[in-house]
Structure 1
Amino acid sequence: MKKAIIAGAVHAFLAVALGAFGAHALEDILDAYSTDIWETAIQYQMFHATGLMVIGILMKVLGESKQLTWASRLMHAGIYFFAGSLMVLALTGIGVLGAITPIGGVLFLIAWALVITAVVKAK
């Protein structure tokens, strides 16, 4: 429970910091396409940072479960695969990294499905 909330807060902090970095330090370096990629990465990092905090709260309310524990782990990993690969792609232009991004998307989908399952199964 506490780990999910802390992880979510750390990812939210990093999303704000990296978003500001992108808006200020990278504004003259990145082209419009790369800027859009960077912004998408930041958005999804923040969405799923919030998701991690929600999972932590659900663990407190519903009790810890395998589904919520795995949802937390997969969402955390999804942030690295999805947002991380997009950030590296935006900075380097290495197109092969685009093949890694969908792995993060699948991890997000599985994590959300596990959250749904945990809530449905809760008494």
Structure 2
Amino acid sequence: MTQHVIIATGSIFGMLAVIFGAFGAHALKKILTTDQLQSFEVGVKYQMYHAIVLLALGMYSGTITAATYWCFTLGIILFSFSIYGLVLSDSKGKKIRFLGPVTPLGGLLLVSGWLLILINLF
């Protein structure tokens, strides 16, 4: 994976985290319960944390494996975006239940990305 792709991916996820965070804080504040809003914010936070990791990895002069990149990229999509889907569908009274098991898979990919960084260190 090229540094440009990694940085671009991190930038896109970071930008979307800011947009989704603002959307949650303003537009959704009147629609969601406190618990739903907190869950939505967890998705935004994890998306931003891992967007920053992708930026750092893209700026790192060492070798980053494609597996590390994909673990973080797919992890963000599966973890954060499944939370967004669960919260928004629940707020409409039609919770998309198949997304429930997707969230921990995304979390597992994020953990795997961190583990790959550690493995690459050695």
Superposition TM-score, scaled by structure 2 size: 0.89
5+ long unaligned stretches in structure 1: none
Match of 1:10 among 9, 12, 36: 12
Deviation at 1:100, TM superposition (A): 1.0
Q: Deviation per CA, 1:72-93: give whole Å up to 9, x if none.
A: 1110000010000000111012
Match of 1:32 among 19, 31, 34: 34
Question: Is the contact between residue 6 and residue 55 of structure 2 (CA under 8 Å) also seen in structure 1?
Answer: yes
**CA–CA separation in structure 2 for the residues paired with 1:95 and 1:6:** 30
**CA–CA separation in structure 2 for the residues paired with 1:35 and 1:11:** 20
- Runs of 4+ aligned structure 1 residues displaced above 6 Å come to none
Deviation at 1:119, TM superposition (A): 2.1
RMSD (Å), alpha carbons: 1.2
Name the structure 2 match of 1:71. Answer: 68
Q: Deviation per CA, 1:75-120: give whole Å up to 9, x if none.
A: 0000010000000111012262221100001000111111111122
Superposition TM-score, scaled by structure 1 size: 0.88
Identity %: 33
Name the structure 1 match of 2:59. Answer: 57
SS in 2 for 1:29: coil
**CA–CA separation in structure 2 for the residues paired with 1:18 and 1:109:** 23
Deviation at 1:30, TM superposition (A): 0.5
Q: 1 or 2, which has the higher helix percentage?
A: 1
**CA–CA separation in structure 1 for the residues paired with 2:69 and 2:8:** 11
5+ long unaligned stretches in structure 2: none
